[in-house]
Each structure stands twice: as C-alpha cells, then as structure tokens.
Structure 1
Amino acid sequence: MNVFLVAGEMSGDRLGAALMEGLKEVAPDVRFSGVGGPLMQAQGMQSLFPMDELSVMGIAEVLPKYRHLKRRMHQTAEAVLAAQPDVLITIDSPDFCLRVAKEVKAKSNIRTVHYVAPSVWAWRPKRAVKMARVIDQVLALLPFEPPYMEAVGMRCDFVGHPVVSEPVAPEGEVQAFRDDHGIGDAPLLIALPGSRRGEVSRLTPAFGEVVEKLVAAKPDLRVVLPAAGPVAGLVKELVSDWAHAPVVLDPNDVAPDVALARKRAAFRAADVALAASGTVSLELAANATPMVIAYDMSWLSWQIMSRAALIDTVTLVNLVSDTRVVPEFLGPSFKPENIAPAILDVLGNPSAQTEAMALTMQRLGQGAERPGLRAARAVLEGLEG
C-alpha cells in the first residue's frame, strides 16, 4: 500500500504521525511519501521539502510568499502523480493542500482524503462545496462536523482528536521539572506564542509586556516558554530583553523523546497558560491547565476574518464544551492591559474552567480507540468501499 501525505504545520505533523502509526498497524506493508515534519519523518517519511516553508498564516503574510508557495504546490502535485499512490491524504493547511488535491484530481482518479474538516461552521461555509469537487473523504476531529461534509457529498468520519490519547506527565516528572528549574511552589505561567515565525514575531513582544504586568502583581511568578524547534532561535532572541526572563525550552538542545517529556511536564506543571489560538488549547485542556487565549494578526487579515466569522469564539475548548469559560483577546482587544487582569483572574479561580476542559476531552473521544488508529481504519474502509 502506497500512501502520499501532505502536512503544512506542526499540528498537522502530529496528526500525520499518529495516522501513519495507525496505518502501519492495520496495513503493515504500507509505504509513505510526501511532505511532513519531524514526527512524520520519524514514522518513515522522507519529506519532499522542509514542511516549515508552508507554515504561513494570514492573507497579508501569505502574499509576499505566494509565488514560492505556488511552486511548492505544483511540485507536490507532480510528485503525487509520479508516485501514483493508493491514496493522497492532505492534512489541515487547506489553502495549500486543497490546491494540491485539485491539481491531482484534474489529472488522475487518485483517491483523496483530507484530514481535519475545514471550519465551515465558523466562516466561509461555501468552502465545503468547493472542497467536495476534489476531496472524496474527510477525517473530522470534532464530533459536530460530519453533517456539514456529508451534506455536500463527501464521506466524513469523526475519528476523534489525537490530543485525547497523548500521555500527560506523571506527578513525579512534574515536580522534578519544577525543582530542576528552580520554580519550587511558585505560581507558574506557561507562555505559548505559536509555532509559525510570523505569529511568534508578532505575539511574543506583547506577551513580554503581559508578563511584566503580571510580575508587578505577583513578584514570585515564574514563566516557562516551550519553543517549537523551527522557531526556537527566534524565541530566544525575542525574549532576551524581557524584564522577567522565562525558562525557554528548546527542543533542539536534547533528544526528541526528552524534549517531548519536558514539554509535557511544563504543560502539567503550569498553573495558568497564555496561548495563541489553535490546537494548543486542547493540549492545555488535556493537562487540566486553565488558560487565556490571545492572538493578533495584520489589520487586513483581521478585517476580513472578523467580518466573515459565524461564531463568537475561536477557542476550541469553548466550542466543543459549548461554553465560553476561556477568556480570549483577539485583534483589537489583543492588548497587555486587557490580557494581564484576565490571567490574574484565572489564577485566582482556576476551577472555573475545569468542568469545560473535562467535557471537551470526553467529547473528543477520550477513553475510546486512539484517534490515529480510528483514522487509519476510516482510510482503509474508504478505499474498500
């Protein structure tokens, strides 16, 4: 069995790696090719080019790189056509992946699967119709998504979210993390400004201002910042002038398994998180770490996206639990003077988010067969039927 996969960012790399592990379990003779990050490469893929070239978000941010991205789209599609796989699986990053699928479908009858349903329930609902022209099957992470995809003729399987099957750090490792970094029993904030260069550059300075305000109110506060490998150097540079220096966890300094264990310990050890929007809110929920979400983008991107939005929150914990307990500060409200008091409130009343986080994990498939294996079975069933 020959499977071609395409992922465009770190969250997609995690999804792809879990799916590849599942495919190897149900189809031991499977072979992989495509575009992926370090986790997918560890499962047996040699990436066509570095995945982080595709980690660009926002209209204004994409425009300067459009020609290069277009060349990569064509290169990827040509590689699919040359490989003639049993199935092409594109993972998230719809602006890139669906263009690749379109080019492949125009020249072949290769089966196409897209992993992560586009958030048509949030904005641009007509995307589902366009997607159905080039995608045969969708693997959905959220339980309420299949009807949106099935309504326009695509097979859609809810496979659960991989975050529910990822282990959390045991208490011994959590305490060891605190001791190793001299944190002790002090309140700990985990800062998560994203994994893309653009968002890290945009968010980190403001996060530093938030930390400064928090330390003024809580002088014993400690801060840890787990950096994604491709942007670790940039993160260190941006926090070098913070008045209250954080502990930066650079995964490039240690073996991958050590880096992952250290990151999990940090998530579990934290009393509160300040995070960019996205999948990270689910990672925090899996660790029962209360959070505040804060995100900014270019003026043009904000104007377009805010006008197109069909929902009143972007935080997945709020959406899946059908609550609004996680505070978020987006676009114009992304200001340190707004964010810092919200973090202090969460520190003072962390239990306000506990029930919503637990419900989110339950609805995403916690306790069921692991999502990567469910996704693999869905892919095979689609091929057979």
Structure 2
Amino acid sequence: MKLFLLAGEASGDKLGAALMAAMKDLAPGVEFAGIGGPEMEAEGLTSLFPMQELSVMGIAEVLPKYRALKRRIAETAQAVSAFAPDALITIDSPDFCLRVAHLVKEANPAQKTVHYVAPSVWAWRPKRATKMAKVIDHVLALLPFEPPYMTAAGMSCDFVGHPVVAEPRATEAEAAEFRETFMIGPDQPLALCLPGSRAGEVKRLGPRFDEALMRLRDREPGLRVVVPTVKGVAKLVRDMTARWPVAPIVVEATADKRAAFAAADLALAASGTVSLELAASRTPMVIGYDANFLSWHIISRLLRVDTVTLVNLVSETRAVPEFLGPACKPGAMSGALLELLENPTKRKAQLDAMERTMQRLGAGGEPPGLRAARSVLAFLNR
C-alpha cells in the first residue's frame, strides 16, 4: 500500500504522524511520501520540501507568497501522480491541500482522496463542504458534530476523535520538577503565553500578550511566564521575548512543554488547537486572536457562531473568555486572566467544560490515530 500525505502546519504534522504510526501497525509494508514536519519525518516520511513554507494564513499573508505557493502546488501534484498512491491524504491546510487535490483529480479522476480535519462549515462559509466534495471522497472528522455536514455535501465521513485525548500528559511530579528547575515556587503563580505557531501570529499577538501579562504582573508581582514554542517559530519567539521588559522562560522540547502545561495556573493563548491541549492538561485559559485588518474584516462578516474556541463549542458552554479582532486588547485580556486567578467559580466552570470536552472528543476510547487509520482502510476497501 502507498499513501501520499500532505500537512502544512504543526497541528497537521501531529495528526499525520499518529495516522502513519497506526497505518504501519495495521498495514505492514505501507509506503509513505509527501510533505510533513518533524513528527511525520520521525515516522519515516521524507518531506518533498520544508513544511514551514506552507505555514501562512490570511489573505494579506498569502498574497506576497502566492507565486511560490502556486509553484509548490503544481510540484506537489506532479509528485502525487508520479508516486501513484492508493490514496492521497490531505491534512488540514485547505488552501494548499485542496488545490493540490484539484490538480490530482484533474489528472486522474479515479485517484482516491481523503481529507483529515473537516472544514468548520458550521462556523463560516458553509459552501466549502460542497466545493470540497468535488475533489475529496472521504473525510476524517475531529469533532463529533461534523459528519452530517460532510455527508450532506456528498462525501463519506467518520468521526475519529481528536488526537489531543491520546497525547501523554505530564505527571504531578514532572510539573513539580519543572517548577523546581526554573526556580518557581510551589505557590508562585505561573502563566503560559501561547501566541501561535505561525510567524504572522507570533508577530501580531506576541507584543499584546506580553503587555497583558505585564499588567497581570502588576497585580500579581510574583507571576512567572513560560512561552512554549515550536521549531518553525522558535528563533522568532526567542528574539522577540529577549526584548520584553521581563524575559519569560522559553521552552521548545516536547517534555518541557508538557511539564509547563501541567505546572501552569493559567494561560493566555491564540485561538486554535492549543485550547484543547490546555483543556487536556486542565489549565484554565483566556483566548486572544487577531488577524491582518483585511483578513479579519472578511472573516468576521462570515462567522456563523458566537465563539471560535473549541472548548466552548464542544462543551456547549461559553466558559472560556475570548477576545477576538478589535477586542484583542491587553487590558481586557489581563482583566480576564486576573479573574481566573481570583475567582474559584470561574475556574471551576472552565474545568467542568474541559472535562466534558475531553469526554466528547473520545477520551478513554481507542486512540484517534488508530481510528483514523481504520477509517482510511475501510474507505479503501469499499
């Protein structure tokens, strides 16, 4: 069996790696080709080109790189045709992946295609599912309420669970060791600062998050801050935080990040998958996000939901405060963080919502990567 996988960002790299590991167990001898990051490479993928080239989003961010991305799309489609896989599996990053799938289907309409991560048509642009169905045959959904949207558009779809429920979490001992290593007292407040995994997000949100945490430090003088980061933006994060008035602790190693999540009392995070990682570690959070003015203006007019935070959506609560677009202001975010530290009722509401979210995403069941692999094999055997 041969599979061509495409991932364009860190969260997709994790999904792809778990799927690859499970496929190797279920279909010994499976061959992989495609594009991925360090986690997929660790499972045996030789990436066609660095995944970081695709980690851009938003209209204003994509336009300057449009020609280069267009060349990469054509190059990738040609590589798929040359590899002749049993299935092309595209993982999130629809702006790139679905364009590749379109070219591949044009060249070979019989090529089977799978897309991992259903588009959030319940949130905005519902017609995306119908458009996607022209080039995608089968969808692997992370959220339990998504399959009906996909099947209505003409694709088969399985809810496979979210990988966050299967990821290892740091123990209390590891969290205590993290605090001891960085000389953070057991009763000293510790906050995570998570401004995103893309360069544009880090540049835009980093200074605002820093100011919000500085204001919180004015009320909590002992506050320490940790900035977990990923390989693609680690240098940018270190250079940026070195100029902050109070330099935070920057960690990149996976074990350090897990320990930091477990050790933290609260987090200020960009909107996205990280909210589920925080929920898995039971770390209360405040969400902040903004995009380029043009991108945000367009997206905000298309939104069909009153929250974009996955914990709020899956738990059917609004326990996690979020500050989006023009509302992404340091003062407002700082106030919400302070309330989480001082108001036990607010903290408990979040913790309850996190527990409900993890249960609904498949906690305690078969690992999502394995469920995804079974779904792909069942699709190919139909």
Give the TM-score band, short-chain normalised: over 0.9
Q: Whole-Å Cα distance in 1 between the matches of residues 160 and 99 of structure 2?
A: 24
2:85 maps to: 85
C-alpha separation between the residues in 2 aligned to 1:180 and 1:352? 31
The answer (yes or no) to whether the contact 1:60–1:300 under 8 Å persists in 2 is: yes
SS in 2 for 1:167: coil
Farther-moved stretch of structure 1 (122-131 vs 231-240): 231-240
Range moving further from structure 2, 346-355 or 190-199 = 346-355
Residue from 196, 204, 207 that aligns with 2:206: 204
The residue identity in structure 1 corresponding to 2:233 is: V
1:215–1:244 contact (8 Å) kept in structure 2: no
1:223 is paired with a residue whose SS is strand
Aligned to 1:371: 368
Query: In structure 1, what is the Cα distance between the partners aligned to 2:238 and 2:207?
Result: 12
What is the SS of the residue equivalent to 1:57? coil
| CA displacement at 1:384 relative to structure 2 | 0.3
Matches for 1:27-176 after TM superposition, within 5 Å: 27-108=27-108, 109-176=110-177
Counterpart in the other structure of 1:295: 289
**1:56 is aligned with what amino acid?**
V
Q: Output one character per residue of 1:328-384: Cα deviation in whole Å (capped at 9) or x when no partner.
A: 001000110111000001112322201100000000000110000000000000000
Match of 1:281 among 269, 275, 278: 275
Distance 1:375 1:42 in 2: 19
Shift of 1:241: 2.1
Specify the code of the residue in structure 2 equivalent to 1:332: P
How far apart, in 1, do the equivalents of 2:370 and 2:243 lie?
Answer: 45
* SS in structure 2 at match of 1:156: strand
Output the aligned Cα RMSD.
Answer: 0.7
Letter aligned with residue 219 of structure 1:
P
After TM superposition, the runs of 4+ consecutive aligned structure 1 residues lying more than 4 A away are none
In structure 1, distance between residues paired with 2:86 and 2:341 = 51
Deviation string, structure 1 residues 27-63 (Cα, Å, up to 9, x no partner): 0110100000000000000000000100001111111
Alpha-carbon distance between aligned partners in 1 of 2:290 and 2:128, rounded to the nearest angstrom = 24
Tell me the equivalent position of 1:9: 9
Equivalent position amino acid for 1:328 in 2: E
Give the SS at the match of 1:41: helix
Q: Secondary structure, in 3 states, of the residue corresponding to 1:310?
A: coil
Q: CA deviation at 1:230?
A: 1.5
Name the CA distance, whole Å, in 1 between partners of 2:111 and 2:35.
Answer: 17
2:224 maps to 222
The amino acid of 1:209's aligned partner reads E
Query: Given residue 302 of structure 1, which amino acid in structure 2 is its aligned partner?
Result: W
Matches of residues 178-193 of structure 1 in structure 2 within 5 Å? 178-185=179-186, 186-193=188-195
For 1:231, the equivalent position in structure 2 comes to 233
Instruction: State the distance in 1 between where 2:173 and 2:364 align.
Output: 23
Q: Is the contact made by 1:225 and 1:247 (CA closer than 8 Å) also made in structure 2?
A: yes
Whole-angstrom distance in 1 between the partners of 2:21 and 2:163:
12
Cα distance in 1 for residues equivalent to 2:170 and 2:308 = 27
- In 2, Cα distance between the equivalents of 1:372 and 1:240? 38
C-alpha contact (below 8 Å) 1:33/1:47 kept by paired residues: yes
| TM-score scaled by length of structure 1 | 0.97
How far apart, in 1, do the equivalents of 2:317 and 2:30 lie? 41
> Which runs of 5 or more structure 2 residues have no equivalent in the other structure?
none
Q: Hey, what does 2:350 align to over in structure 1?
A: 353
Structure 1, 142-151 or 345-354: larger mean CA deviation? 345-354
Question: 1:296 Cα shift?
Answer: 1.0
The residue aligned with 2:260 is: 266
Aligned with 1:333 (options 324, 327, 330) = 327
Task: Quote the offset at 1:184 in angstroms.
Answer: 1.6
Residues 197-254 of structure 1 show CA distances to partners (whole Å, capped at 9, x for unaligned) of 11111111111111210111100000000111111111111111222221011x3xxx
Judge conservation of contact 1:140–1:159 (CA < 8 Å) in 2.
yes
Q: Aligned partners of 2:156 and 2:99: how far apart in 1?
A: 19
Partner Cα separation in structure 1 for residue 331 and residue 220 of structure 2: 15
What does residue 384 of structure 1 align with?
Answer: 381
Q: Aligned to 1:151, what secondary structure does the other structure show?
A: helix
Matches of 1:51 and 1:124, distance apart in 2 = 26
Greater shift, 184-193 or 235-244, is seen at 235-244
The runs of 5 or more residues in structure 1 that have no matched partner are: 252-258
Q: Give the letter aligned to residue 218 of structure 1.
A: E
Counterpart amino acid of residue 102 in structure 1:
H
TM-score, length basis structure 2 = 0.98
How far 1:133 moved relative to its partner?
Answer: 0.6
CA distance in 2 between counterparts of 1:133 and 1:245 reads 50
